[in-house]
Amino acid sequence: MPDRKKAREKAKKLVSQMTVLEKASQLRYDAAPVKRLGVPAYNYWNEALHGVARAGTATMFPQAIGMAASFDEDMMQAIGDVIATEGRAKYNEAAKHEDRDIYKGLTFWSPNINIFRDPRWGRGHETYGEDPYLTSRLGVGFVRGLQGDGEVLKAAACAKHFAVHSGPEDLRHEFDAAATKKDMWETYLPAFEALVKEAKVEAVMGAYNRTNGEPCCGSKTLLHDILREKWGFEGHVVSDCWAIRDFHEEHHVTANARESAALALKNGCDINCGNTYLHLMAAYEEGLVTEEEITRAAERALTTRFLLGLFDGSEYDEIPYEKVECREHLELAVEAARKSMVLLKNDGTLPLKKENLKTIGVVGPNANSRIALIGNYHGTASRYITVLEGIQDEAGDDVRVMYSEGCHLYQDRVEGLAWRQDRISEAVTVAEHSDVTVVVVGLDENMEGEEMDTGNHVGSGDKKDLSLPAVQQELLEAVTAVGKPVVVVLMAGSAIDLSYAQEHANAVLQAWYPGARGGKAVADVLFGNCSPSGKLPVTFYRSLEGLPEFTDYSMKGRTYRYMEGEALYPFGYGRTYADIFVAGAEFAEEPTTDKEIVIKARVKNASDVKSEDVVQVYVKILGSPNAVPNTSLCGFKRISLLPGEEKEAELRISPEALKTVSEQGERVRDGSGFVFYVGTSQPDERSVSLTGKKPVKLKFYRKE
């Protein structure tokens, strides 16, 4: 592991030779060179949400929400390692050519571990879903893969956006996210704590909004009291881009740029993405900040560069450019996409059997869309395989594939001079002439994403409701009305109301934004080359009814842990082509509340289909006024089973899962009893109804 103490000493020595102006010049995301000391320019801004982004060619994995649906910690670590390898390969070549531009460094501003608390949030598909435990485990795996275990950091990860940040996008620069201490420590902070304490994440990015009155990028509570003092964070903090400018222009907590720069620096924001730190020297001259505070931030920033081996060289300097988009990496990306697919409904129509088909219809605005493959914060692939192309490749010469775009993604016509819904009759014709029709609908980064995304042309990127665009709903209804089998493939990064598809389609597959070659993975699942095995990392609500206002950060009524109604598709739900269930479960030894609990589950495949599935453990805490209303995920494990095979899965439950969070935000052990549900889904009635399987219950009572 990297020697932080030694790196810090080197950084201190180097910074001690700098003038105040030179030190201040190191605190911008585009750090200036200090040529007399041999310090080259360095740009801290790079992205790696699901592959090296915005810097040319790289392997593109499924969007983060899709990776989350895999419920696979080991795969997340492998993906992080691939991204770091390609990042190094690209950095090595860029450095040889003296290219120090944006998106060319090794400080990756990923992952986004905010909680997807509300399905309207446009950036939710950048996250790992709505559950803090799942987010923590996948985030830790991703960071460990990205940073590696060598003598230097392979790359530097960044946990963002700290904290309590999940929309609305159009208000984020001025918004105050008011959250109770209970909600903070029960939902919004656990993933950040895990990444800091367990994964030793090198950087943390502040959020645009205020949290309980303090702007996050200048919050003493968040950056000093919690991050540094309570959690012992030793890396550097970076602002979100131009967020410090918001202090005086939008939040109005300071009077000008000098005061904003001073507030951020004094409370622990080391690097400014933006230009407000250009005013640091003026703030220094006015006595608003001290040289010691500038020095401290510069030392933290330079420590990261020493930890990356950027001054002394490292074992990663010889990673060749040929590693970028190599076969091994591309295969992992397709495998990740396969594992991300969530089968929501199937009446036996899937998998498609080529020997029984003469013609397959493929319709819908996302069927042949490259944009719908990749989500936002993406790089460039050398080859894309859309869903249409994946189906064509798999069908081969023996099965005719007919195609119609069907409709525009959201506008009422494809051709500007045409009648409204100018492609819908063609889509109906295709369905009439096909044995089965695959309808590929959904969204893309033009419709859900970050405010001011380069591809975001509709509002702020948030959704107004959970409906498919009206033109797509019309298309779906027209095709199902033909009366032949219909398979719906949804490509979207968030919950969509699929009530009509659930009632009228023969099968429904959630494909997310599956990556550059995701169309191959979709085809593999549709034709049974592999069994779907993903699980929903978010709740698919029936409607927005019962959800609090988008601007209300209370968790009451939100997500599977607190919701009061019945979901259309619950968190943790997902079918396979096999019949896999937990046949029995037991504690490995007598459980107590103060040590790790080991559950041994017997998992059986009662079908003739090989498949993977995810064993999940949920806990219900009894006798505590602080317990969440429903259950909480506390363990999961992906398992592969051959036809007829039975295996034992061992799941380890942290004693922290048996604690509750008080109204004061304190983690307490106050439950009188604990019920564990061990199955392949949640224990809620809707999941049992959809799967026909009840989880195994284990219970014990506290003896103190």
Q: How many CB atoms lie within 10 A of CB 368?
A: 19
Tell me what the mean pLDDT of segment 190-209 comes to.
98
Residue 94: what pLDDT?
97
Mean pLDDT of 12-18: 98
| Residue 451: pLDDT band with limits 50, 70, 90 | confident
Beta bridge partners, 374, equal none
Residues 6+ apart with CB under 8 A from 47: 53, 54, 103, 108, 109, 110, 377
Residue from 118, 240, 293, 445 carrying the catalytic annotation: 240
SS3 for 345? strand
pLDDT at 546: 87
**Per-residue pLDDT reduced to its tens digit, 96-113:** 999 999 999 999 999 999
DSSP string, 558-597: -HHHH--S--SB-TT--B-SS-EEEEEEEESS---TTS-E
CA 301 to chain centre: 26
- Contact (Cβ atoms closer than 8 angstroms) between residue 315 and residue 151: yes
Q: Which CATH superfamily hosts domain 341-538?
A: Glycoside hydrolase family 3 C-terminal domain (3.40.50.1700)
pLDDT tier, 369 (very low <50, low <70, confident <90, very high otherwise): very high
Q: CATH number for the 580-701 domain, one of 3.30.70.330, 3.20.20.140, 2.60.40.10, 2.40.37.10?
A: 2.60.40.10
Catalytically annotated residue among 47, 183, 448, 524: 448
Give first-to-last CA distance, the chain, whole Å: 40
- pLDDT for the residue numbered 457: 47
| pLDDT on residue 456 | 45
What's the half-sphere exposure (Cβ side, CA atoms, 13 Å) at 584?
5
* Pair 661, 626: CB distance under 8 Å: yes
Can you tell me the mean pLDDT for 503-523?
98
**Residue 552: active-site member:** no
Tell me: pLDDT of 21 over 80: yes
Confidence of residue 675 (pLDDT cuts 50, 70, 90): very high
**pLDDT by residue (tens digit) across 516-567?**
999 999 999 999 999 999 999 999 999 999 899 999 999 999 999 999 999 9
Kindly state the average pLDDT of the residues 485-496: 98
Per-residue model confidence as pLDDT tens digits over 144-188: 999 999 999 999 999 999 999 999 999 999 999 999 999 999 999
Check whether 640 has a pLDDT greater than 80: yes
Closest CA to 662 of 186, 276, 254: 186
Q: For residue 559, which phi and psi values (nearest 5 degrees)?
A: 60, 165
Alpha-carbon span 114 to 56, nearest angstrom: 27
Mean pLDDT score of the chain, rounded to an integer?
Answer: 97
State yes or no: pLDDT of 12 exceeds 70: yes
pLDDT(13) > 50:
yes
| CATH fourth-level superfamily of 4-322 | Glycoside hydrolase, family 3, N-terminal domain (3.20.20.300)
Q: Where are the domains of the chain?
A: 4-322, 341-538, 580-701
Decide whether 4-322 matches 341-538 in CATH topology. Answer: no
Reduce the DSSP state of residue 140 to 3 states and report it: helix
Evaluate whether 370 touches 384 at the Cβ level (below 8 Å).
yes
- Catalytic status, residue 594: no
DSSP E strands, 60-213: 158-162, 176-177, 203-206, 210-211
Q: Residue 452: which pLDDT band, with cuts at 50, 70 and 90?
A: low
Report the share of the chain in percent with pLDDT over 90. 97
Residue 158: both structure tokens together: 């960044």
